[in-house]
Structure 1
Amino acid sequence: MLRTTLALVVIATIPGRTSYAQQRPLTDAEKKIITSTYGSRLKDPLSAQYRWPNLIKAQADAPDYCFQVNAKNSYGGYVGFQTVLGSVTQRNGTVVGYRYKMGAESSSMMNDTASEFCAIGGYRFQ
Structure 2
Amino acid sequence: MKRIFALLIIGTVASCGPPPTPVQVTPIVANETTLATARNTLTVGLNFKDPAAAQFRNERVYRMATGGTVVCGEVNGKNSFGAYVGFKPYYVRLNANGQGERAHTEFLAQTACQQAASGTLQVSQ
* TM-score, scaled to structure 1: 0.64
Quote the sequence identity (%): 21
After TM superposition, the runs of 4+ consecutive aligned structure 1 residues lying more than 4 A away are none
Gaps spanning 5+ residues in structure 1: where? Answer: 1-8, 104-110
Q: Cα distance, 1:37 vs. partner?
A: 2.4
Distance in 2, Cα, partners of 1:15 & 1:82: 25
- Equivalent pair of 1:23/1:56 in contact (CA under 8 Å): yes
Q: Cα distance, 1:13 vs. partner?
A: 3.4
Name the CA shift for 1:34/1:101 in 2 (closer, same or farther; >3 Å).
Answer: closer
* TM-score, scaled to structure 2: 0.64
Q: How many residues align?
A: 99
Q: Cα distance, 1:65 vs. partner?
A: 2.9
Aligned-CA RMSD value = 2.4
Gaps spanning 5+ residues in structure 2: where? Answer: 1-15, 119-125
User: Relative contact order (alpha carbons < 8 A, sep ≥ 6): 1 or 2 greater?
Assistant: 2
The answer on 1:55 being equivalent to 2:50 is no
Letter in 2 for 1:77: A
Q: Note the 1:1-126 alignment, pairs <5 A.
A: 12-13=19-20, 15-17=22-24, 22-40=26-44, 41-91=47-97, 96-103=98-105, 111-122=106-117
Bigger Cα Rg = 2
